[in-house]
Amino acid sequence: MKTYNVAIVGASGAVGQELIKGLENSSFPIKKFVPLASTRSAGKKIKAFHKDYEILETTHEVFEKERIDIAFFSAGGSVSEEFATSAAKTALVIDNTSFFRLNEKVPLIVPEINAKEIFNAPLNIIANPNCSTIQMTQILNPLHLHFKIKSVIVSTYQAVSGAGNKGIESLKNELKTALECLKKDPAIDLNQVLQAGAFPYPIAFNAIAHIDTFNENGYTKEELKMVHETHKIMGVDFPISATCVRVPVLRSHSESLSIVFEKEFDLKEVYEVLKNAHSVVVCDDPSHNLYPTPLKASHTDSAFIGRLRKDLFDKKTLHGFCVADQLRVGAATNALKIALYYIKNA
């Protein structure tokens, strides 16, 4: 079996750590592993595959020097902008950032939907979609193929780890401060004691309807990503409207979906379609309090769907609640699936 030299740019970050775990637990044929990061992290030690590795600095030359075959990028759009093209001269680049996603020459891949597009990559770069987009399309695509979707409205409840380790630390630190203050004075105004960390406002005991920057049309970039990326992945143009909200959850994004089909539908058929969909788990028995939650979805590789029900007034509209671990389903696992499909079918 052919083996590969694999690099992770951003190896010490939240997604980079999940990529390492995924590589360790998969059958990926690794010959050499090379962790890369910024100048700030270069020289530090990182544990992978039961041994310690020294993190190397990301440079334009390191990919050729280390003879990298596959390079995972998960260190932010500016890093991908600067180094991905250099890496792609000698390696297949799988980019977890938003920089290349809407580039016409770069395929945007969710393997359960459009894996064959992996081989339509003239720049030798493949883009990993936005985490919220991935779990949503895993639900929408099988339903669209069976029922034909007319439009979608989605509201997200996104975990702090979507902002990386700094988001996780912000929530932990703010919760510690808030709980200490509440213990002393249960009636204290938390607005007076909490300071914003990784987000525009404190995230502890809060919800912030602001992820990424605002566009002049009033939507955030995160919301527009869900629209444009879904269209590109699924090859559709039906209307999608998104509202993205950050909530004080460590990991796993939740989404409330309202899906309008072209015709009336049978709810039993919806269950059958989703039960047979790849990487989807139907978790739906309200009589026994069975429905998706972030804790249930965390550290798994499936998109969980539940609370499936018909709209009270429109027989063409389906409502549901989807949850998935965005560090895995929405990033690392999807990237690894892309790489595995590539090496098995190249």
Provide the 10 A C-beta neighbour count for residue 187.
Answer: 5
- Cβ atoms of 266 and 274 within 8 Å: the answer is no
Residue 226, amino acid: M
173 vs 79: CA distance, rounded Å: 28
Contacts of 269 (CB under 8 A, 6+ apart): 146, 147
The catalytic residue positions are 131, 253
| Rounded alpha-carbon distances, angstroms, from residue 248 to 15, 174, 207 | 19, 10, 7
171 vs 247: CA distance, rounded Å: 10
Q: Coil, strand, or helix at residue 125?
A: strand
Nearest CA-CA partner of 227 in 130, 333, 93: 130
